[in-house]
Chains A and B, each alone.
Chain A
Amino acid sequence: MKKTLLVVWLMMLPLALTAVIAAAQGGTVLLNAAGATFPYPIYSKWFDVYHTAHSNVQINYQSIGSGGGIRQLQAGTVDFGASDGPMTDDQLAQSKFKILHFPTVLGAVVPTYNIASGAAELNFTQKALAGIYLGTITKWNDPEIAKANPGASLPNADIVVVHRSDGSGTSYIWTDFLAKVSDDWKNKVGKAATSVNWPVGLGGKGNEGVTGLVKQTPNSIGYIELIYAVQNNIPYGKVQNAAGKFVKADLAGVTAAASADAKNIPDDFRVSITNAPGPNVYPISSFTWLLIPAQIQDAAKREAIKDFLKWMLSDGQKFNEGLSYAQLPKEVIARETKAIALIQ
C-alpha cells in the first residue's frame, strides 16, 4: 500500500503546485499574444518592464512567427498579434473583424560573408546582391562586385549563397528589397514574402543557422538581422542605397529610412520602407507591427492594451537602442498615438 501512496503523492505534486499558484493570483488581466520572432527580444523586455510597473497585467507573448500571429489573431485564440510584414489587402478582407497596424520598432537586415582572403568590409551594389541571389553572379571576383571594391582582393571562387530555410520576417525584408531593386528578381522569384522559391543556395534555420553556415563555409554569403550581427560581433558589408551611397547599417541609418518618407506613410501604417530615398538611409530597413483588433469587447483588456500602446510609444522606445533596434521617428509616434483612439 505504501508504494501506491507514494505514487499517488508524486502525481498530486503538479496538481498541488497548480492550486498554490492559482490561490496567489486573482484579478489579473491576462493577455495572450503571438507573432513575429524578429522583435521578440524587445517585446519580451517591454512586456516584462510593463508588468513590473502594472503588476496586474500579464502579457504573454510567444514568437511563433508572423504568419502564425496573423492566423491566431484571425482565429481569435490570441488577444493581439505581431508581424514583420504588413497584412495584405486579401488577408484583411478575409478577417472577420477589423485589424489595426501599429509599428513598434525598426530593424535592418545586413549581408554577412566569409571570404578566405579575409577581405575587409565589402561594398555591395544593389545589382550585385540581386545577381548573387538570382544565381547570375557566381564568382566573388565578378566585375559587379569588384568595381565597388577597388583594392580588395576577391578570390576567383564560387559564391556559396545562404538563405533562410524557415519562413521569416527577415526573409520578407530581404526579398522586399531585392524585388524593388531588380526587375529580374521580381519577375522570377516574385514579391516580398516570408518564404520564396530561392533560385540558388543553402538554407539555414534561423539567424543562428545562417550565421553558422556562413561562418563554416568558405566563400559564402548570407543575410541576417542587424541586431544579431551586433550581438555576436559578426562582420557585415555596406549596401548601396537609392541615392547611390554605400551605407553600413546602424540605428541612425535605419531611423532615417523611416523618416525619409514619413509624410507618405498611409494612415493604416502599412508601408514598406526598403530602398527609401535619402543620402543617409540604410536601404534594407523595415518596421515591424503589432496587430490590434479595432474592437475589443473585454473592457479590462481593452484598457490594458491601449495603455500599453501609449507606454510603448513613449517610455518603451527608450529600450530600443540598448537591444539594437532603432527607435520610431517622432512623426510616426505622433500619428500612432492618435490612432490608439481607434481601438473601441
Chain B
Amino acid sequence: MSAAATIAHEVPPQTGPRAFLHRLRQGDQIAHLITLTFAAVILLLTSMLVYELWINSHLSRTQFGWAFFWTKVWDPNFDNFGAAPFIYGTLVTSAVALVLAVPLGLASAIFLSELAPRKISDIISFLIDLLAAVPSVIYGLLGIFIVVPLMRTTLGPLLINTLGNVPSLGVLFRGPNYGVGFLTAGIVLAIMVVPFIISVSREVLLTVPREQREAALALGATRWESTWQVVVPWARAGIMGSVFLALARALGETMAVTMVIGNAAAIKASLLSPGDTIASTIANQFTEATGDLYLSSLIELGLVLFLITFILNGLARILIVATERGGGRPA
C-alpha cells in the first residue's frame, strides 16, 4: 500500500528516543488542539445564535410568558401571539414526512447498495444527490401544480373513503378536503428529505465489510436476511445519522411547506385540513412585520423551534440507546 510506504520512508531522524516521542506527541497535541478549536467554533456559533434569538424575543417573552406555548391565537393586529397551532403543524408535518421518507429512503438505499449493479447505483445515486439542490421554491411550485390537485381530486377522497372509516385511525382522514393541508405538506417534505436519507445510508451501507455479509450467507441466510439482520444493523449509526439530517431539514423547511399547507392557524385532527408550521410562519411574516412585539414574537417562534429540535433530538438519541441490541459496528 502506497500510503504505508510513504510513512515508512518518513520516520523522523532518531536524535534520541525521548525527543522523538516528545515531538510525536507535540504533533498529535497540535492536531488535537486544532480540531478541538474548530469543534468549539460550532458551539460558539450556536450559542451566539441562541443568544441573539433570546435577546431579540425579549419583548414577547416578558409579555406572554409560558402562555405563548399554548395560546392558539396569532393576531398581529391586536398584538396577541401564541405558538400552539404552529408547534402542532411543525410536529405533524415532520412526522408525516419521516413516516413516508424513512422506509422509502432506507429501502431505496438497500436496493442501491446491495442489489443494483455498481455502475447503475452510482449514476442513480448521483442524480438523487441533485435533488437536494433543487430550490425549495421549485418544490413548492411542483407541489402546487402536481401534489395539490392530486390530493384534492384523487388521493384525498380515496383516503377519506377507505382509511377514514377505520375506527380511531379514521379521525386522521376526514374532510373537508381542499388539496392543501398537513398531508400534502408532509408528502412534499418527504420528497425533499429522501435524498439525504438515500445518499448517506447508501454510502454507509457500502462501507459494511464484505466479510459480514458473507458470514451470514455462509450460515445459510437468504439475501434479505443477511441484509436486514446483519448489514443494516452494522450501519445503524450512519443510517440514524441520515434520519437526523432528514428530520432537521423537515423541521426547518419554509418555502415549499408554506405553499402547500393552506396557512390556517388551526389545530385539527384530520391530516387533510390546512394548518401552518413555525418555519413557514416566520418566513411568511418576517419581511412584512413592523411592530416590535410582532417581530419579537416571530423571533420567539424561532426560539421555540430550536427548543423542539432540542427535545426531538434528545428523544431520538434515547430511542437509539434503548434499542441497542448489539450487532452494531463497534464504536
22 A-B contacts, Cβ less than 8 Å apart? A67-B287, A67-B288, A71-B290, A158-B176, A165-B263, A165-B284, A166-B284, A166-B288, A167-B284, A167-B285, A191-B77, A194-B76, A196-B75, A197-B74, A197-B75, A202-B262, A202-B264, A203-B262, A203-B276, A204-B259, A204-B263, A213-B178
B148 within 8 A of A: yes
Roughly how many angstroms separate A158 CA and B176 CA in the complex, as a whole number?
11
Q: Which of B50-93 contact A (CB under 8 A)?
A: 73-78
Q: List the 7 shortest-distance A-B pairs measured between CB atoms, nearest first.
A: A203-B263, A167-B288, A190-B77, A65-B287, A165-B263, A67-B288, A197-B75
Please, which residues of chain A bring their CB within 8 A of the CB of B290?
66-67, 70-71, 88, 91, 194
Q: Are B262 and A195 closer than 8 Å at their CB atoms? A: no
Q: Which of A276-305 contact B (CB under 8 A)?
A: none
Please, which residues of chain B bring their CB within 8 A of the CB of A190?
75, 77-78
B289 within 8 A of A: yes
Residues of A participating in the B interface, judged by any CB pair closer than 8 Å: 64-68, 70-71, 88, 91, 158, 160, 165-168, 189-191, 193-198, 201-205, 209, 212-213, 216-217
Q: Are B152 and A205 closer than 8 Å at their CB atoms? A: no
Please, which residues of chain B bring their CB within 8 A of the CB of A166?
258, 283-285, 288
Interface string of B106-123 (1 = CB under 8 A from A): 000000000000000000
Roughly how many angstroms separate A190 CA and B152 CA in the complex, as a whole number?
33
Roughly how many angstroms separate A288 CA and B176 CA in the complex, as a whole number?
38
A197 and B265 contact, Cβ closer than 8 Å, known pairs A67-B289, A166-B288, A202-B274: yes
Residues of B participating in the A interface, judged by any CB pair closer than 8 Å: 73-78, 140, 144, 148-149, 152, 176, 178-180, 258-259, 262-265, 274, 276, 280, 283-290
Please, which residues of chain A bring their CB within 8 A of the CB of B176?
158
A189 and B288 contact, Cβ closer than 8 Å, known pairs A202-B178, A216-B152: no
Roughly how many angstroms separate A191 CA and B78 CA in the complex, as a whole number?
9
Q: Are B144 and A217 closer than 8 Å at their CB atoms? A: no
A167 and B287 contact, Cβ closer than 8 Å, known pairs A209-B144, A212-B144, A217-B152: yes
Roughly how many angstroms separate A204 CA and B264 CA in the complex, as a whole number?
10
Roughly how many angstroms separate A212 CA and B284 CA in the complex, as a whole number?
17
Please, which residues of chain B bring their CB within 8 A of the CB of A212?
144, 148
Roughly how many angstroms separate A51 CA and B290 CA in the complex, as a whole number?
31
B78's closest neighbor in chain A, by CB? A190
Q: Are A205 and B259 closer than 8 Å at their CB atoms? A: yes
- Beyond A66-B290, A204-B259, A204-B263, 14 additional pairs, beta carbon < 8 A: A64-B287, A166-B284, A167-B289, A189-B77, A194-B290, A196-B77, A197-B76, A202-B263, A203-B263, A203-B264, A203-B276, A213-B180, A216-B148, A216-B149
B284's closest neighbor in chain A, by CB? A166
State how many angstroms separate the Cβ of A149 from the closest Cβ of chain B: 25
Q: Are A196 and B274 closer than 8 Å at their CB atoms? A: no
Please, which residues of chain A bring their CB within 8 A of the CB of B262?
202-203
Roughly how many angstroms separate A68 CA and B290 CA in the complex, as a whole number?
8
Please, which residues of chain A bring their CB within 8 A of the CB of B283?
166
* The one of A71, A193, A209 that contacts B76, using a Cβ cutoff of 8 Å: A193
